[in-house]
Chains A and B, each alone.
Chain A
Amino acid sequence: MSATGKPRSVDRRRFLMDTARMAGGCAVAGTLLAYLARDARALPAEALRPPGALPESDFLSACIRCGLCVRDCPYDTLKLAELGEDGPATGTPYFTARTVPCEMCDDIPCVEACPTGALDPGLKNIDDARMGTAVLVDQENCLNFLGLRCDVCYRVCPVIDEAITLEPSHNTRSGHHAIFSPTVHADHCTGCGVCERSCVLPDAAIKVLPTRLARGSSAEHYLKGWEEKERKGAPVVEGIIDLPDRMPEMPGVGSEVPAFEPAFKLPGGGQ
């Protein structure tokens, strides 16, 4: 207000006041919303995204929660997360392998149905899908590890002999049997969950986990000697490496090493 007494800035003051209040209110509401959004990013381990789903953070920006993928799934594998009941962000599609696994349709109808590309249309071969990675999480209860020939997870695997193989080893308990350990090869596992669904135990010994939980990673600079050798077709380093022998120098003796003398000799141990 100016000194001349005319309240020329009442409108401006009100405007600034209203704006400040709005901005304040929106900041509070926005923070709460952002908190919710951050919370929604934590996808539970047992919830798997459909084939071709973008990495979770990208998926949450791309999925409009329309449910078309769910409708076009011929096996009723996919579900939309319900508010307050299911773990994934409300309205987003997921499946639980132990309940209904992905049947890996050749034409991938769920990806076809997605209008936004949250399920990547670049996925043309279902064998390239990576919904998660199967892990034999419980060797203590797995029947094969106990020495039986259950083999169910191996037999049902849609990528049998590539994603899961049976690796024989000696059964040290019985001493004269073999153990056929179901072994997952992550490079081929699509994470469809048929193995987990089929495990005969009350709780599956093999489970599909999100790959971030299922796997470690190898450092970029690691080389495997045997692979390098195979690639080269010859030993990586030619010839025998014979590093020079070095011994500590001893005072008075120089670098000459005295012959080995045992501290004592066993009786009758002479040559």
Chain B
Amino acid sequence: MSAKTRLPVGLEAIQHKGWINAHRFLLLRRLSQAFFLLLFLLGPWFGIWWVVGTLAGSRTFEVLPLTDPLVLAQSIVAGHLPEVTALIGAVIVLAVYAVIGGRVYCSWVCPINPITDAAHWLHERLGLQKGWQPKRMTRFWILGTVLLVSAITGTVAWELINPITMLHRGLIFGMGFVWALVVAIFLFDLVVSRRGWCSHICPVGAFYSLVGTKSVLRVSAVNRVDCDDCMDCYAVCPENHVISPALKGKDGETPLILSPDCTNCGRCIDVCSVDVFAFTHRYDNRAKKTVSTAVDAATEQAA
């Protein structure tokens, strides 16, 4: 463990790259989350009906149908054969996320993400225990349970509690008691289980990780030889088990982060002061072999 491990997370990156560059993807991600929410709110707030509907199902510019494939999958196992419009919408969504990474939905679109991120931020500020950490397979079990319950009860079961579509629908159509659900998730992530909801429980995330198993867009630890073991990437990553195989891989092992759990949030790219990580495609196996001179200099300086 290097001495840099003890520095505050992200401090070096800010010093080296400036605050904006050290928060580039975080800012882009917040913009993206706001953008997708705003698209749906343009209609009800400003009467501009470019996008109609919710994340469960929508219609853009009167022609493009989009459907949440997990919601539709539940509907199908519940015994309903949907109309073609919904099927086309689901296929489009599946195709896009299969290419850009299923869990891009989690980090760039999902309206619950800012809430669990806020809970995590506060969790770190308060220095709380990580609490209950369910096993990695838990969310897949829950996904299976959700589909099973849908099949048995003949209903779209997860939609009865899905905080994502409920919050989204709440913002667009009317909240009801959805705020209580949102508070519950915030508190769950804050005091019960660190990164509990998005990284351990949510079956929607589990579903999208399956969708993105072979996704083309990937983060690569392309400059892993430069890594100075500051551990900041592990500290910011919501699924930090995905980093080690790429970052600590031996020569000849791929520097690509190939785990479908990776949400392609890009926070590791932001927070790395020596720019180990970069977005690339899954066929780009290049890894730099020699340490950058700039890094050498910086290390010597630090020493």
A residues apposed to B, CB below 8 Å:
18, 22-23, 25-26, 29-30, 33-34, 36-38, 40-41, 57-58, 60-68, 70-72, 79-80, 82-86, 89-91, 113-118, 121
Q: How far is the CA of A89 from the CA of B162 in the complex (A)?
A: 13
Is B78 positioned at the interface, with any CB of A under 8 Å from its CB? yes
Q: How far is the CA of A203 from the CA of B157 in the complex (A)?
A: 36
A66 — which chain B residues lie within 8 A by C-beta?
Answer: 53-54, 56-58, 67
Query: Assuming A37-B160, A114-B83, is B75 touching A29 (CB within 8 A)?
Result: no
Among B141, B149, B172, point to the contact of A25 (Cβ < 8 A): B141
Say whether B169 contacts A67, CB under 8 Å.
Answer: yes
Is B161 positioned at the interface, with any CB of A under 8 Å from its CB? yes
Say whether B146 contacts A116, CB under 8 Å.
Answer: no
From residue A239, how far is it (CB to closest CB) to chain B in Å? 55
Say whether A83 contacts B166, CB under 8 Å.
Answer: yes
Closest partner residue, chain B, to A36 (CB atom): B160
Among A30, A68, A86, point to the contact of B53 (Cβ < 8 A): A68
A67 — which chain B residues lie within 8 A by C-beta?
Answer: 53-54, 57, 169, 172-173
How many B residues, CB 8 Å from partner? 58
Given known contacts A37-B149, A68-B57, A82-B177, what 10 new A-B pairs fall within 8 Å (CB)? A22-B135, A22-B137, A22-B138, A37-B153, A63-B156, A65-B159, A80-B169, A89-B155, A113-B59, A115-B82
Among A23, A34, A65, A91, point to the contact of B157 (Cβ < 8 A): A34
A and B contact pairs by CB, cutoff 8 A, 15 listed: A25-B141, A26-B141, A58-B79, A60-B78, A61-B79, A64-B72, A64-B159, A65-B56, A65-B165, A68-B57, A79-B174, A82-B173, A82-B177, A83-B166, A115-B82
From residue B1, how far is it (CB to closest CB) to chain A in Å? 29
Say whether A83 contacts B78, CB under 8 Å.
Answer: no
Closest partner residue, chain B, to A28 (CB atom): B145
Query: Assuming A25-B141, A84-B177, A90-B160, is B155 touching A37 (CB within 8 A)?
Result: yes
A26 — which chain B residues lie within 8 A by C-beta?
Answer: 141-142, 144-145
Query: Assuming A66-B58, A67-B54, A70-B173, is B67 touching A41 (CB within 8 A)?
Result: no
Is B152 positioned at the interface, with any CB of A under 8 Å from its CB? yes
